Structure 1
Amino acid sequence: MQKNQLYKGSLSTIVLKLLNDKGKMYGYQITREVEKITTGELVITEGALYPTLHKLEAKGLLSVEIKTVNNRPRKYYFLTENGKRETVNLLNEMKTFIQHMDVLLNPKLA
């Protein structure tokens, strides 16, 4: 299994957490920030990111603001109030999952 497949199921949580921490961001900015934070270990493709952003927007977790930058429209994504609440819930679920995985992978430490 490739490491990126491990992240694939967590992409929504990763995006929500990043927007929660950084505020408004556009797609390319999100991909670069994830690469920076993970020192290049996780590369999010446009083909994975934009469907995730659209899904989160359709669920009412994200809103979009379009600004013109260098005479080109740019979509900035940001969390709605529901998105902020959902981010807290997903992060709590992720922490619990990581704790369970740690116990399963290191039973002598439990």
Structure 2
Amino acid sequence: MYSKELTKGTLQPIILKLIDSRDKMYGYEITQEVKKLTSGKIDISEGALYPILHKLEAKGVLETEKVYIGKRVRKYYKVTKDGKMMVTEVTKEINDFMDTLHLIFNSETLKS
């Protein structure tokens, strides 16, 4: 599992990209899907997840839908139209960042 320090800055883009790719998701589903997709290397705690979801909802990037399952209410998150632009932007930024890290960590020029 990666350290919290390493993953902290990538949680919001990960969450946004995942919700956007699935149309809508609820909190526990997000944590489990990230764990599954990363073979357990990234583990998003509820304490990290929900503040991000609430912040994105307050910004209008996400909207919620309540679904009643028996006596329980499940809150689904969905990316808004404005949020889709943000998903595109953060995806470009993350990919550029990974390319930049690749230059540093896989570069032969650092050995000179």
Return the TM-score normalized by structure 2: 0.91
- Shift in Å, 1:3: 2.3
What residue is the counterpart of 1:101 in the other structure? Answer: 101
What residue is the counterpart of 1:61 in the other structure? Answer: 61
Aligned residues: CA RMSD: 1.2
Equivalent pairs counted in the alignment come to 108
Partner deviation per Cα, 1:51-98 (whole Å, 9 max, x = no partner)? 000011111100000010122111000000011110000000011111
Runs of at least 4 residues off by over 6 Å: none
The reply to whether residue 43 of structure 1 matches residue 23 of structure 2 is: no
Q: 3-state DSSP class of the match of 1:63?
A: strand
Unmatched tracts of structure 2, length 5 or more: none
Partner deviation per Cα, 1:16-73 (whole Å, 9 max, x = no partner)? 0001111111000000100110111111110000000001111110000001012211
User: Which letter maps to 1:20?
Assistant: D
- Shift in Å, 1:4: 2.9
What residue is the counterpart of 2:29 in the other structure? Answer: 29
Unmatched tracts of structure 1, length 5 or more: none
